[in-house]
Amino acid sequence: MQHNTNPFGISITTQDIIDTIGFLDSWEERYKYIIDLGKDLLPMAEEKKTDDKLVRGCQSQVWMDYHIDDGIFYFDVDSDAFIVKGLLGVVLAAYNGKRSSEILDFDIDAYFDELALLKHLSPTRGNGIRAMVQRVKDTVTGLN
């Protein structure tokens, strides 16, 4: 079976995102960058967009699936909102293409703080990004 492999966490790293966000002067430019990141996500197949793959707690519809290859997690995600696709890219940069120990050891709060992301998102978007992170962690801990 062919699996999507998103570039996040592989060729687009957390450090790439931190560096680019830090280089941009305004939050308007940063939002545009985050939206552009979402364009790098490969689309999820429509038949995979099922209720069991919906991430609860997100304002927009967000689907998340995964596969494991040789102990490495690869996430397949999609959303019906452009900004949320970009936020999924931000999250996947931390988790995609990583082993469970790397996922669980990654300090996502420090990463978000470095991006100053949560203070510039609406409360509902902030809750949504936390729900995405929780889904990844629940997926990984459920298999250990």
Catalytic site positions: 58
**Positive/negative CA dihedral, 89, 100, 48, 118:** negative
What are the distances in angstroms from CA 122 to CA 39, 42, 52, 119? Answer: 21, 26, 26, 8
Compute the half-sphere exposure of residue 55: CA atoms within 13 Å on the CB side of its CA: 30
Encoded tokens for 3: 């699996």
